Every structure is written in structure tokens, then in C-alpha cells.
Amino acid sequence: MAFWIQESGADRGWRVRRYLQNKAGVFGLVVFSFVLLTTFFGPLFYPVNPFEMVGKRFLPPGGGFPLGTDYLGRDILAGIIHGAKTSFFVDIAILFEAGLSFLGLGDPNVMSWGYMIGSSRIYIRQAWWTVTFPGLAIFITVLSLSLVGDWLNDFLNPKIKGRRQG
């Protein structure tokens, strides 16, 4: 059974000020919101099938393909946008899903960030971007989730009120 403690206006104001002072938490929330918006609305703005071979193999970033193409000529940006859905919804932990897909234990018919890294790792010397951009997507997402989690701990944990500065 949960007991709710009524907060005074001063306590609520302290929590809001603490939220705004925690720049890392605010940054993490903004970045994670951007990642979620890209996950849901990215396919509407960039409607490229991530499995379709749209160009030559190993085209570098720029030109018609903002993040280049992989070893089969597939658009890496389309893979990152569509892979976000899998990375978020297939498993609870993004790192867990990426690790399994990297090891080849994921479904090869479903695009994910770990699959993109795992399938392109042997070409890293020829085309660094095929592994770097999906890896950055994992890094940025996990970092933003960590910052948001730390912010939530600071914001919601009543024992922290006097100990830590934002």
C-alpha cells in the first residue's frame, strides 16, 4: 500500500528548480525525446526501406545518402531509423538487444542497430561509417537514458534533497 505525502508549494518549487538546475538531466531528456520522435516519425520523413539496396556498396556519407551505404548498398540512415523501433521494442534493454543481434542471435529479417554493426564489422577498415553511425545511435540513446535515470533519481528521491547539488 502506498501512502502519498502532500507537498507544500515550497517543496514543489524546490523540485522544479532542482530539475532545471540539473543540466545533464535536461539534456538527456531532450536527446531521448529526439530519439523517440525519430523512432516514431522518422519513417514518415525518410521513407526508405532499410533492406532495399538503393545505391552502390560503401558509398561514403553525403550526397544522396546522408550516412552512406553499407556492404549491400542499403541506406544506413534508413537502417538506423527503422532499427530504433526494434532496439526499443524487441527487448526491454537496448544494450541486450544490440548485443544479441551483434552476435548473430537476433532475427536477420528485422533491422536493428546491433544487426547493423554485426553484419558490417568485417568491413570496418573499408567503410568506417557502416559501424560508426549505428554505434553512435546506441551510445547516444543509452547515455541519454542514463542521464534521465539519474535526473529521475534526483527529482523523485526525497532522501537526496540536502545531499547533492544539481
For the stretch 117-127, pLDDT in tens is 999 999 999 99
Is the overall model pTM greater than 0.85, yes or no? no
- With H, G, I as helix, E, B as strand and everything else as coil, classify residue 65: strand
**Section 100-129 average pLDDT:** 88
- With H, G, I as helix, E, B as strand and everything else as coil, classify residue 62: strand
Q: At residue 1, does pLDDT exceed 50?
A: no
Q: What is the mean pLDDT of the chain?
A: 84
Where exactly are the structural domains of the chain? Answer: 47-158
Instruction: Express each pLDDT in 69-102 by its tens digit.
Output: 999 999 999 999 998 888 777 655 777 778 888 8
Kindly give, in sequence order, each residue whose CB lies less than 8 Å from that of residue 135, ignoring residues fewer than 6 positions away: 113, 117
More confident residue, 137 or 162: 137
pLDDT of residue 166: 47
pLDDT of residue 10: 58
Instruction: Find out whether 24 and 150 touch, Cβ atoms under 8 Å.
Output: yes
DSSP 116-138: HHHHHGGGTTT-THHHHHHHHHH
What is the rounded CA–CA span in Å between residue 101 and residue 123?
Answer: 17
pLDDT of residue 99: 81
Rounded to the nearest 5°, which phi and psi values hold at 64?
-75, -10
Residue 53 β-bridge partners: 74
- What one-character DSSP code corresponds to residue 13? H
